[in-house]
Each structure stands twice: as structure tokens, then as C-alpha cells.
Amino acid sequence: DTPNIETIILATNGSLYKYNTGSSTFSTTGGTFVNSTNQLEFAQLNNKLFWTDGSSDLQFTDGTDNHKQGTKIASITVTNDGSGYTSVPTVTIGTPTAGYGTTATAIATVVSNKVTAITVTNAGSGYLTAPSVTITGGGGSGATATANISTQLAPSGLRLIKSFTNRLFAVGTGESRNTLYASDILDPEIWKTTNSIIVGGDDGEDIIAIQPFYGFQIIVFKRNKIYLVDVTPSTTTTSGTSVLSLTNSAAEWTVQTVSNRIGCIAGRSVALVNKDVFFLANDGIRSISRSLADDFSTVGLTISEPVKDIIARINRSFISTCNATFHNNRYLLAIPLDSATNPSHILVYNSIFNCFEGLWEVAAARMVETSFSSGFATNTIKLCIGTTNSRVGHLTDYKDSDSVDINTGFQDFGTGYTSKVVTKAYEFDDRFALKYGSHYEVEFFNSGST
């Protein structure tokens, strides 16, 4: 979503697609990813949407074109200073290789008829490999130099990515599966090696999810542990005023252990819910604020204790497909129940009333809040739902009973659905004897039932 482009981007079967305004169809953007079986992760920074697949390089789209994320020229090293230079020679740097960007520029320094240094005056952008550096003119010959970019390229194989405090944060794979990386502030082309930190490298667990929290804090989830990483940038003082540095080092970050016994088992189940962060743990749905408050020797009840029968039905073999979002004061968790291999239902928790209010039979492969307005009657925030059978729709939220069409107002993709209500059980202080209801009253308003 940018000032010039507003579109929905989705990923399926190894390709990226965008919504065609006015035609209710999707067309390919040309963007691809290496591993079509991996879950793709997206993050928007400024006017670009970045994605990772855990196998290939970091890529982005501006809504029209797709590119691998390149970088800038970090420095130029003189490999042969030449001789006979009576004036400053011209330095020419090769063009970017990422299919976008600007060509870098530099100037040479001549001392005693030799090229002693080359200073980058414009670092350029869009370089995937080190460009050529050519030195001509100046009355001399023999001077050569090489450009350096390797210390600034985004690591390959990133699998998690978030946009936070005007920079990108990501997690690697393989030997880097516990490494938290960061781009420079306001510059996704710069990923210095000093802007990374290993989180809990000695615990033997992979990072499952990262979630921006408050201030400059990021919550790092593992399967049985939770960490809080403070990535506050350093400050410099100019004319008595403290200014955040745009190039701080990860050496200044701090890591705090929140829990060494509770973690997250489904990375996409993590969602910011008002002042808390909800996630799916081994024993059900929990919140990070409650984990912070728990005594380490005591495990309290999970948020999902009232619906533990539903939690017990989650297919653990495919629990990684669970995904969640927070919309309209509700935490919505898509889960694969029973033998389902993809999410088959959405469990809904109302954060205002602190209770679960529904189990929807909607196969949501991914849920994302969006302000996308084309084709809709209102410009309000909407919940976009991508289903496991390649459909994209949106939640219509609350409908006024006096104006809704009872024939078409309660449908999923044009098909009516059956609703049922499960009430609270009353035992009347007798837990053993069976109870049988003798009288029921049900009142319908504007019902189309027969």
C-alpha cells in the first residue's frame, strides 16, 4: 500500500500474484521463489514489499516489478597504485546487476604521481555482485581497484522477516537459524554483519517467530523458550540534542530470557493483541504478558482452558500451518482440526469480553488486515482471508439485523452455512447425575429457516 499503488499481493505455487483493480482477478507479477513448499513471509518498508522463502535471496516488489534486493558500494580498495599521474584520473564504476538502482560514483586521490585512495561519493544501489572499477586519464597508467559489497548484502536463505522501527529484521536458516539480522534504519539495502546477534545459541532450539513489541523491543520465540531483545539504536549528541544513530551495531543490543519453559509451536500463531502478544504454546493459547508475570516454577492456566477440547483436536503433525491475526478486537486463530492437513476452522477470541465466541468452519491459509478499498463500499480496515482452495475474500464483520438480506447476507463465497450454538453447562452442584432438559424456548428474529 503506497501513495501510488494499492493492491493485494499473494503467493501460491512458486509465484507471486497481484489483484487487478476492477476485474476481481489476479495476475502474475513475475516474482518467483525457490521453495514453493515453504511458507512465504512478507514485510513492507516504505514503498516496497519484501519477501523471504527460507531458500533464496531477499526479494521485493514495488507493485509493478520484482527484483532481488541489491546493495550499495561499501568501499573501493586500490590494488595497484600505478604511476605517472599528473592529475586526478576518472573513476568509472560498473552498472548495478539487480535490474534496478543507480550507478555509484567515486573520486581518486593522487599523491606523488600515484593513486593512493578512492573515495565513494555516491554508493549507488542495486548491486548483487561487486562491479568493475576502471581508472582512466590523469596522465598515468597501471592503477587498479576493486569494489567491496559483500559485507552489506542481505544474507541468503532468510525465512522470517518483520518491519519494525523503520528497518527490517529477519532470521536465517541452517547455521544461522538462531541469528537475528537487521538492516540499516531506513535502508533495506544495507545488512552489515555487525547488525546481527545470536539469540539463545546454546539452547539447541530454532527461532520459531519474531514479534515487534513496545519501544525497540522484539520478542523472539522458540519452541520452549521466549526471549526479549532490545534493539534500541545508539544516540549521538549534536548541538546538545540527542539524535538516534542510523548505523548502530548489534553489540549494543541486549537479550533477556522471558521464559525457559514456555515457547511457541506455530510461528504464525503469534499476534499482537492490544497490550499483549498471543501465541500457540504446547499447552494451548497463551499471552506474553502472562508469561512475564508467571512464576518460573508454576504454570498457570492457559487462555484457551475453556476450549481445551478444541485445542486437543488440532492435528499436531500439521501445526505449523496454524496462523492468526488480530482484527476488530478479536484474536482469530486458524487451525487444522482432526485429520485436516491445512487450517479447517478459525477459533475466535473476543479480547473485550475475554472469552471465546465462535469456531468458524473457514479454511484460512492466511489472514491479513488490509485497508485495500478497490471494489468495496467502504474504506475501513478489512480482514483479507486467503483460503486453502485458492480463494481470496474478506470478512464482512457485524451486520445490522434490520438491514441485512437474510438470503444472501450469511454466506461464505456465495454458499450458505449452518450455525449452531453451544451453551454453558450447568451441573447444579451435582457432577455425576445426568441432566435432561424438559423445556426449551428459542426465539428467532428475521429468520429464513423453515
Judge if 101 and 173 occupy the same domain: no
Nearest to 426 by CA among 414, 435, 439, 417: 435
Q: Are residues 229 and 173 in the same domain?
A: yes
Q: Would you place residue 23 in the very low, low, confident or very high pLDDT band (cuts 50, 70, 90)?
A: low
Same domain, 192 and 142: no
233 and 174 share one domain? yes
Q: Indicate the residue among 113, 148, 183 that finishes a domain.
A: 148
- Residue 237 confidence (pLDDT) above 60: no
At 263, give phi and psi (nearest 5°).
-145, -165
pLDDT at 3 exceeding the cut of 80: no
**Do residues 102 and 64 share a domain?**
no
Residue 51 to residue 42: CA distance in whole angstroms: 4
CA distances from 339 to 268, 335, 345, 363, 387 (A): 20, 11, 12, 13, 17
Residues 129 and 169 in one domain: no
Give me the sheet containing 392-394, strands edge to edge: 364-370, 382-387, 392-394
Domain of residue 27: give its range: 1-41+60-68
**For residue 328, what are the contacts with CB-CB under 8 A and spacing of at least 6?**
383, 397
Residues 227, 174 share a domain: yes
Same-domain pairing of 198 and 230:
yes
Instruction: Evaluate whether residue 179 is within a structural domain.
Output: yes
Decide if 21 is inside a domain: yes
Q: What are phi and psi of 309, to 5 degrees?
A: -65, -35
128 falls within a domain:
yes
Residue 134 belongs to some domain of the structure: yes
Query: pLDDT value at position 159?
Result: 92
Give the total number of structural domains in the chain. Answer: 3
| 343 is a domain residue | no
Contact (CB, 8 A) for 219 and 213: yes
- Name the domain boundary from 116, 148, 180: 148
Flag whether 84 is in a domain: yes
Q: Please tell me whether residues 167 and 237 are part of one structural domain.
A: yes
pLDDT at residue 295, as a whole number = 43
Dump pLDDT digits (tens) for 355-374: 999 999 999 999 998 876 55
Q: Which of 148, 166, 182 represents a domain boundary (last residue)? A: 148
Please check whether residue 381 is in contact with residue 394, taking contact to mean a CB–CB distance below 8 angstroms: no
What per-residue confidence (pLDDT) applies to 298? 38
Residue 398: how many CB atoms within 10 A of its CB?
Answer: 7
Could you tell me if residue 184 is inside a domain?
Answer: yes
- Please give the pLDDT value at position 235: 64
19 and 90 share a domain? no
- Give yes or no: residues 139 and 187 share one domain: no
| DSSP tally for the chain: helices H, then strands E | 2, 35
User: pLDDT per residue over 167-221, tens digit each?
Assistant: 999 999 999 999 999 999 889 999 988 899 999 988 889 999 999 998 889 999 9
Query: Is 163 in the same domain as 81?
Result: no
Q: Are 82 and 135 in contact (CB under 8 A)?
A: yes
Do the domain assignments include residue 277? Answer: no
106-136 pLDDT per residue, tens:
999 999 999 999 999 999 999 999 999 999 9
